[in-house]
Structure 1
Amino acid sequence: MEDYKSYSQAIRMLRVSLVDQLENGIDFLLELLSSREVLNRDDREVVLGLPGPRAKVRKLLDIVECKGEEAARTFISIINQQQQKTHNLIPTEDSADQPQSKVCSKIMQKHKEVLSRRSESMLYYNTRHGEKIPFSEHYVNLLLVSGHQGLERKRHEVLTFGLKRLSMQQESTKHGQITPAKLFSSVAGSRPVKKVLVTGVAGIGKTMLVQKMLLDFGNNKDHLAFDFIIHLTFRDLNLITKPINLKELVLRKNRHLAKELDQILANDNKLLIILDGFDEFRHYRSCDIDAFVTEPDEDGEVAEVVASLMLGELLPNASVLLTSRPAAIGYIPVDCIDRFVLIAGFSMKEVQDFFQRYFQDHAFAKNMFEVVAANELMLTLCYIPAFCYIMCCILKESQDLAGESPKTMTDIYVQYLVALLRSHTQDRAKSSLNDQKEGASPQMSDVVLKLGQLAFLKLMDHQTLFYGSDQDVACLVGYGLVSTFLDKTVAQEPGCTEDIYSFTHLTVQEFFAAVYCAMTDHPLPDALQHKTSPGEETCKGHLDLFYRFLSGVLSERNANLLSRHIGLRCSREKVETYQKRIIGELRDQCGSGAQILNNLHCLFEQQDPSLAQAFELEGLRVNVSDEALSSMDYNAIKYFLNLTEGNISELDLTGTNINCEALKDLQPHLLRCERLWLGENNLDMNTVHVLADVLQLSECMTHLGIGWTDVSDEEMLVLSSAMRMSHMLQELWMEGNRVSYRGLFSLKDLIPSPLSKVVAIWNDLNDEDVEALTVSEGGSFVLRFTDDVVWEEWGRWVLARCEVSSNEKLVTVLCKVCNISIHCLEILWAKGFYKRLRQLIKNRIAQCTEDDMRRKLEKFENVLSS
């Protein structure tokens, strides 16, 4: 019994084996248990009333386990006595350390050989038919970061991840770097790690990580403490349309395990099940289930089997590794996850390593990396392994095509398209050139448009997997170029096979969709702004990159490149229509202060300085708030601001994670700002010194917001010195910080001139401090909720932000604005503000599909209702 903490646990862990071994003698066993008073008459009748011997055994096990440890001990004693002639069902001290049977060891070795053979070749981007690339030649280690790294899912996941990736690379020790062999290792004193979720953006290497683990396990190179690993992909699971059980799922691709499968599943504490690609699962939104599958041979819908595994209802002692893109993790029951791991992709050293492996020539690889390193955009995106491959492909095949280094995302992908068409269709292109003096054959452009149509239609439906039986896919079969841009896998079902396709990378699908819209008569999308509900983070930003590609394809330089090399042409009328639309959108947003970031990227993709002539506004307002800005974002913002002249009426950088380097880079434009909002960023002393320089040099800044930036007295003294020298700032909003009487007193001589208002609610002040800081004759410290006019304006601003925020951002704001004393709720402005805020929360709760987020929102609803 030393293998188990209790007799009840032994019954739970051996449940599968017990069902198999007791089904033929269940009636006799019931008699024995009744005679020993383990079961009463009612218990016996309940068991006998069930159909089939296996169902009877399962019910018996449930009853015995519920009766406690003594009943379980008697039960084990009885069945061991009955089975003594063969072997004990429950290991004793004498049998616990016995080696595994020769048959089981042979099956283990056979299984490892199968996994090694399946994983030895890399299923690589654009691999030609029949071509095998040894995994060891191209695999580069990935940075795995342990901990729940929440991503703002309201933006395109590849774009969102950029800044977070760089910060994690610099702070990998802080976040907890982890190796694949340690994924299931628990920290001393903590609970065992059984369920691990590995997330990462498209192309970051989730499936490559799984393949690496399988290969190492098969070659006995890892240290994972498992006897068996079962690998299931959601691409295969998508083909199952009828109820199925776990045993059938395993045997579909592992028939060699048939004889020993019951024993393998019975010993589930030595079993790892890998579920790869949850975001590709057709039913990933349906895994919040009420009906569980509890036995390996119990049939259920495939979503029920998967959810039961994740929740531990099925094989409760097995370890499960689940991989998914961030877009789908909101549908995973995260309460069951013991460890969250984020794949952060390549570091710069690993990018260099990848270049060396790809080009196989040290000097040439070094030169190519230097080309990429000189382009900030290209270097920033190379942390994604799939994109790193794209860059290598362009550098290898297309150095003579563009004439200059790419400046935008679209530039890169246009060159990628041309390079691959040239590489994979060289013979066909040559024969076509014998008959035509112009660039490419009609078939080439026709296939590109057909691929674009497929990409566009599926993108609009949030689909990244396409099946051979789909009519949109069937029309492409037979074209040799299809394999250049679509990955194909074959899933086998009893009696049939199904071809499954996907673009080599999510961004490639978005690019082809943009090419289709630009180069055909298909009308442009109705609007550049998305109409999704603010609370639906998984949808918001879904088309960000598509719109940027569309803008770039409709630019003159890329349109010419596609026309020259592929024979694709877009009408001048469509280009002009698009440019008028983007300028109109930007003009409206700059006038109203609406969110502007993605349209700034669209303008950046155009790379047409002449468009700046259309920006003639009385007040230029640039709002890029509530976005974690990456270096690409700052490039787009600077490009736009460089095109404009005169003062900037308002620049809103609230909640953008801006740091010292970014603020210093923007300094020439900050000097043009009349109102600058930097709230909800962590402003350290170095950043405050940059801001102080701006205050000192600016001749137009009148309003500054630094609320909830964690500044204290020391930072405030630096800022007050700068304000004293410039005498320009009129209003300072600094609510929610750590400033005490000492820091605020340094501003007192600046009130009422030039400072007419200092809003410092929620700082480190007591009642005596508030009284001592009272200022008369004009200007004022706003330290309490007493000025209805001031706070009504503040309330309107907060509500406007909340209405367009994601649920995740809304909770962050609620944590701040719900910090209000009860007596303040009697003030007229507060009553109206919190009433409207409570209604907004109710609306979000009604729309929310994520359990964890719904609970957080309900918590704040209860606070405001009490």
Structure 2
Amino acid sequence: MGEKDGCNSSLTAIRVLRVSLVDELEGRIDSLLEVLVSREFFTRDDREEVLCQLGPRARVRKVLDILQCKGEEAANIFLSISSNHQQEAQKYSKEGNTDQPQSVEYNKVKQKHKDVLRRRSESMLFYNTRHGEKILFSEHYVNLLLVDGHQGLDIKRHEVLTFGQKRLSLQQKSAVHRKITPGEIFLSPNGSRPVKKVLVTGVAGIGKTILVQKMLFDFGANKNCLTFDFVIHMTFRDLNLINKPTSFREMVLRKNRHLAKELDNILANDNNLLIILDGFDEFRHYRSCEVDVFVSEPDEDAEVVEVFGSLMLGELLPNASVLLTSRPAAINHIPVGCIDRFVLISGFSLGEVQDFFSRYFQDRTLADRMFAVVSANDLMLTLCYIPAFCYIVCCILKESKELGGPSPKTMTDIYVQYLVALLRSHTQARAETFFQEQQAGANQQLSDTVLKLGRLAFKKLMEHQTLFYSSDPDVAAVKGCSLVSTFLDKTVAQEPGCTEEVYSFAHLTVQEFFAAVYCAVTDQPLPDAIQNTTTPVEGSNYGHLDLFNRFLSGILSERNANLLSRQVGLGCHKEKVDSYRQRIIRELAARCENGAHILNYLHCLFEQQDPSLALAVQPKTLRINVCDETLSQMDYNTIKYFLNLTKGTISELDLTGTGVSCESLRDIQPLLIRCQCLWLGENILDMEAAQAIADVLQVSESITQLGLGWSNIGDEELLVLSDAIRVKKKLEQLWMEGNRLTYRGLMTLKDLTPYPLERVVAIWNDLTDTDPESFSTRESVTVDFTDDDDMWDGWGQWVLKRCEVSSNEKLVMVLHKVCNVSAHCLKAKWAKTFYEQLTQLITGRIESCTEEDMCKKLKKFENILQH
């Protein structure tokens, strides 16, 4: 772009260089466009106008046209950005490519491989709902929001539901410079060390595989800044099919035989090689990747997990770049020290949801009308931020032309409508008057198909299986059904001398839904495992059936049972419906009274959408424990649904470790005012959140106990809270363990102790400054452990109860906090009892734990407590 220096202005330069700019920028226009939008030089409307153009060259021309309207300053900035963008890519290319020019044969294979990747990725991989239908990737891909940074590993059990408010607040609060494009993933964010190993995470359905497809598609078409010679793509679903020692070379050749002649040269030139490994959470050996056995040569045979571990740790192909994708639930099993960059996929923004609708429906007027329908339904709009669910919602709207009946209120409503819409769509092609003239016979065939799929889904879900071999009798039963390709994906496992078809549901949530349908409409009794979904003895089972239970409850509701009976010919037995409803009432009443974890039962109640059920619960005390769940907006809606139907005082609301924010506290403020005991510990509470709590304290006639342990509050936040406590003077106990408080901050409570504050607990704070006037010697103020058995027995039992219901990962986090006790405190009677009980709990967990790494962590704490 040096020619522009000779021009009178940047606008003139753009006009003069228009032809060369089109040639120069066509391979990177998408990533360049994202930079322009992220830096707010282009609006979202500008981007949409550009993306509507067919082909990269047309997009460049549209960008140049828009710049002519934006003036000299915008043109100057554009030339600067595009020049820097090119230089960074060239710099990376030069740094990474120190090898000699390759042979003619190498370059021929290089081009052939790109052609293969382009052909394999030209259709949307997981969005094909009709057998043989092609949905062109280039016409339907919508940009995903990618952000830099390592996210917390302590996530919700069923991460499909971790969306809602957390997603929206992330988008609002993320600094613009953290957003990145697919082509920039391997460009160093700060120019420090080279980026070789990248971990891409995101919840189920968020678009990890679609992002991989985008990178493969662009690489095959020379469209982005990936400067590698070769990109090798593997999925862990395929790697699971290898059940004997193999070499990395053979792993590559399983689906890339065209590379055989040049593979040695490709692997020797590993500086220019990118290996993409998709779906780590589906790897059957994902818990065992901290290997002690390494391979260093591509031809060396070993177990698949050893080859993978060697690759990640740099023992094998140390100069190669690796991109790994995974759901968050599995990433704490990745050798985390080897990761150079963490990228989080946050799905769609509101603008991208609209873009998806436009591309899906093709007709702008129709797309706008359908988007308006979705925008009026909070649940549907929230789900649409997840690409997979956005597709399901669009499918429902397309097949039903609009939501003719009542709008869906729950997740089950949406999936039932999805099922009915797809069944209707696939049968209308065979008989236009199918649902009118041949209702009985056709419904029988539909119900048989759904039941066979449901049986397969249910049986495999109970066995923790998502891949099904064609040799399995349950798979053989569905293979002849005409509608199987609608809901099952098929791949072929190739082994020397034989091939076998392998099936899986298009999405895990679809398998869970079909399993619930089968359980609801047959004589199949509720499995025993359902009774134990909140017992975290084995971390991998913790919450395994949560979503299945929610679907089951929704299907057993009157409105969905009627819809399935009418449209699919599947009816629910009245006895099962009545029995299930009574069980929900019993469980909710019991959990409200004993304070056991209740969130999934609240979701099951919400799926029923029957206020009479909530009114029938009537517990003696109302205790709501949803701790250690990263709550989404859907979770808050569920909690509000139940508590708004119940009147009176809330004895206890435990929001410990739920990721509450100022926004969520404001949202549920009417509920907080009704609480007696409110636990908000283990959340990051800033000044805005402290002010939201203070607003509650100023008006509540009920709150007597408030827990803010390990919530990052300091003296400034405590000052706001102390002013609020003075208004009503109802608060009796304030627990503030593990924060940033000093004696200066605690002095703001001086006139509030011992009345109304009978107990202030501030152990594990920054109390290194001098205690003025011996404030800490007051009986009501505790800054260190004491011999008061009555006080600390209660504290110890509360901690033990939390440990008992925590997963192993969460238990380790709690142990880090509560094992920090000075030696003289351990002599107290309460301490001996507490730590003996804690040791017994840890020993029990070790005995049932199957994860070697987790066992080591638990044994470390066991040794600490025994000595």
Fold shared, TM-score > 0.5 on shorter chain: yes
| C-alpha contact 1:410 1:552 (8 A) present in aligned 2 | yes
2:816 aligns to what?
A: 815
Query: Matches of residues 654-803 of structure 1 in structure 2 within 5 Å?
Result: 654-766=656-768, 768-769=770-771, 772-773=774-775, 780-786=780-786, 787-803=788-804
Query: Matches of residues 325-340 of structure 1 in structure 2 within 5 Å?
Result: 325-340=327-342
| C-alpha contact 2:128 2:135 (8 A) present in aligned 1 | no
- In structure 2, relative to structure 1, the CA distance for the partners of 1:318 and 1:762 (3 Å cut) is closer
CA distance in 2, matches of 1:503, 1:769: 64
> Structure 2: which amino acid aligns with 1:793?
G
CA distance in 1, matches of 2:534, 2:707: 30
> Structure 2: which amino acid aligns with 1:781?
V
The alignment status of 1:130 with 2:143, answered yes or no, reads no
Query: Matches of residues 419-498 of structure 1 in structure 2 within 5 Å?
Result: 419-428=421-430, 430=432, 432-433=434-435, 436=438, 440-498=442-500
Candidates 579, 584, 603, aligned match of 1:577: 579
Higher-Rg member (1/2): 1
| Per-residue deviation, 1:157 | 1.6
| C-alpha contact 2:681 2:710 (8 A) present in aligned 1 | yes
Query: Matches of residues 401-412 of structure 1 in structure 2 within 5 Å?
Result: 403-412=405-414
- In structure 2, relative to structure 1, the CA distance for the partners of 1:279 and 1:740 (3 Å cut) is closer
2:250 aligns to what?
A: 248
| C-alpha contact 1:440 1:567 (8 A) present in aligned 2 | no
| Per-residue deviation, 1:448 | 0.7
| Per-residue deviation, 1:455 | 0.8
| Per-residue deviation, 1:544 | 0.6
CA distance in 2, matches of 1:694, 1:288: 48
CA distance in 2, matches of 1:284, 1:764: 40
Q: Once structures 1 and 2 are overlaid, which stretch shifts more, 377-386 or 832-841?
A: 832-841
1:501 aligns to what?
A: 503
- In structure 2, relative to structure 1, the CA distance for the partners of 1:439 and 1:388 (3 Å cut) is farther
CA distance in 1, matches of 2:639, 2:683: 18
CA distance in 2, matches of 1:400, 1:351: 17
- Structure 1 counterpart SS, 2:198: strand
| Per-residue deviation, 1:352 | 1.1
| Per-residue deviation, 1:458 | 1.0
- Structure 2 counterpart SS, 1:538: helix
CA distance in 1, matches of 2:608, 2:119: 48
- In structure 2, relative to structure 1, the CA distance for the partners of 1:648 and 1:439 (3 Å cut) is farther
CA distance in 2, matches of 1:186, 1:629: 33
CA distance in 2, matches of 1:150, 1:851: 22
| Per-residue deviation, 1:240 | 3.4
| C-alpha contact 2:153 2:329 (8 A) present in aligned 1 | no
Q: Identity, % of aligned pairs?
A: 71
> Structure 2: which amino acid aligns with 1:132?
K
CA distance in 2, matches of 1:198, 1:500: 26
CA distance in 2, matches of 1:189, 1:849: 41
- In structure 2, relative to structure 1, the CA distance for the partners of 1:750 and 1:294 (3 Å cut) is closer
2:319 aligns to what?
A: 317
> Structure 2: which amino acid aligns with 1:120?
E
- Runs of 4+ in structure 1 deviating by more than 6 angstroms, as ranges, are none
Query: Matches of residues 555-574 of structure 1 in structure 2 within 5 Å?
Result: 555-574=557-576
- In structure 2, relative to structure 1, the CA distance for the partners of 1:174 and 1:653 (3 Å cut) is farther
CA distance in 2, matches of 1:171, 1:508: 32
> Structure 1: which amino acid aligns with 2:670?
P
Q: Once structures 1 and 2 are overlaid, which stretch shifts more, 289-298 or 541-550?
A: 289-298
| Per-residue deviation, 1:760 | 2.5
| Per-residue deviation, 1:769 | 1.7
1:828 aligns to what?
A: 829
CA distance in 2, matches of 1:99, 1:436: 68
- Structure 2 counterpart SS, 1:475: helix
CA distance in 2, matches of 1:400, 1:440: 24
2:202 aligns to what?
A: 200
What is the root-mean-square deviation in Å for CA atoms of aligned residues?
A: 2.7
CA distance in 2, matches of 1:749, 1:515: 61
| C-alpha contact 1:115 1:215 (8 A) present in aligned 2 | yes
| C-alpha contact 1:551 1:603 (8 A) present in aligned 2 | yes
| C-alpha contact 2:776 2:783 (8 A) present in aligned 1 | no
CA distance in 2, matches of 1:485, 1:195: 34
CA distance in 1, matches of 2:766, 2:350: 43
CA distance in 1, matches of 2:212, 2:586: 47
| Per-residue deviation, 1:630 | 0.8
| C-alpha contact 2:599 2:625 (8 A) present in aligned 1 | yes
Q: What are the superposed Cα offsets for residues 429-460 of structure 1, whole Å, 9 maximum, x if unpaired?
A: 54655654559521001101111111111111
Query: Matches of residues 244-323 of structure 1 in structure 2 within 5 Å?
Result: 244-323=246-325
- Structure 1 counterpart SS, 2:255: coil
| Per-residue deviation, 1:241 | 4.0
Query: Matches of residues 840-855 of structure 1 in structure 2 within 5 Å?
Result: 840-845=841-846, 847-848=848-849, 853=854
- In structure 2, relative to structure 1, the CA distance for the partners of 1:594 and 1:515 (3 Å cut) is same
Query: Matches of residues 74-89 of structure 1 in structure 2 within 5 Å?
Result: none
CA distance in 1, matches of 2:680, 2:209: 40
Query: Matches of residues 34-53 of structure 1 in structure 2 within 5 Å?
Result: none
- In structure 2, relative to structure 1, the CA distance for the partners of 1:719 and 1:554 (3 Å cut) is same
| Per-residue deviation, 1:535 | 5.7
TM-score, normalised with respect to structure 2: 0.83
- Structure 2 counterpart SS, 1:747: helix
| C-alpha contact 1:168 1:175 (8 A) present in aligned 2 | no
TM-score, normalised with respect to structure 1: 0.83
CA distance in 2, matches of 1:210, 1:746: 55
| C-alpha contact 2:699 2:728 (8 A) present in aligned 1 | yes
| C-alpha contact 2:427 2:434 (8 A) present in aligned 1 | no
Candidates 316, 341, 354, aligned match of 1:352: 354
CA distance in 1, matches of 2:463, 2:538: 15
| Per-residue deviation, 1:619 | 1.5
- In structure 2, relative to structure 1, the CA distance for the partners of 1:480 and 1:770 (3 Å cut) is farther
Q: What are the superposed Cα offsets for residues 308-337 of structure 1, whole Å, 9 maximum, x if unpaired?
A: 333333323222222233344344333433
Query: Matches of residues 227-238 of structure 1 in structure 2 within 5 Å?
Result: 227-238=229-240
The alignment status of 1:646 with 2:674, answered yes or no, reads no
- Structure 2 counterpart SS, 1:773: helix
Q: What are the superposed Cα offsets for residues 195-246 of structure 1, whole Å, 9 maximum, x if unpaired?
A: 2222223322222222211121111122223211222233333333444333
- Structure 2 counterpart SS, 1:274: strand
CA distance in 1, matches of 2:287, 2:473: 25
Q: What are the superposed Cα offsets for residues 611-641 of structure 1, whole Å, 9 maximum, x if unpaired?
A: 1332223211111112111100111100100
Q: What are the superposed Cα offsets for residues 526-575 of structure 1, whole Å, 9 maximum, x if unpaired?
A: 36442576363332111111000000000001111111111110111110
CA distance in 2, matches of 1:399, 1:218: 37
2:81 aligns to what?
A: none
Q: What are the superposed Cα offsets for residues 462-517 of structure 1, whole Å, 9 maximum, x if unpaired?
A: 11122222211111112111111112233444544322222121111111111101
CA distance in 1, matches of 2:613, 2:100: 79
CA distance in 1, matches of 2:580, 2:118: 52
- In structure 2, relative to structure 1, the CA distance for the partners of 1:437 and 1:159 (3 Å cut) is closer
| C-alpha contact 1:845 1:857 (8 A) present in aligned 2 | yes
Q: Once structures 1 and 2 are overlaid, which stretch shifts more, 429-438 or 568-577?
A: 429-438
> Structure 2: which amino acid aligns with 1:519?
V
- Structure 2 counterpart SS, 1:559: helix
| Per-residue deviation, 1:187 | 5.1
| C-alpha contact 2:521 2:571 (8 A) present in aligned 1 | yes
CA distance in 1, matches of 2:441, 2:400: 15
CA distance in 1, matches of 2:529, 2:298: 50
1:38 aligns to what?
A: none
| Per-residue deviation, 1:406 | 0.8
| Per-residue deviation, 1:164 | 4.1
> Structure 1: which amino acid aligns with 2:690?
V
Q: What are the superposed Cα offsets for residues 102-152 of structure 1, whole Å, 9 maximum, x if unpaired?
A: 222222122222222222222242442332222111111112233332343
> Structure 1: which amino acid aligns with 2:682?
E
The alignment status of 1:387 with 2:382, answered yes or no, reads no
The alignment status of 1:592 with 2:594, answered yes or no, reads yes
2:16 aligns to what?
A: none
CA distance in 1, matches of 2:776, 2:313: 58
1:341 aligns to what?
A: 343
| C-alpha contact 2:99 2:269 (8 A) present in aligned 1 | no
CA distance in 2, matches of 1:445, 1:835: 56
CA distance in 1, matches of 2:841, 2:180: 41
Q: Give the length in aligned residue pairs.
A: 770
| C-alpha contact 1:280 1:465 (8 A) present in aligned 2 | no
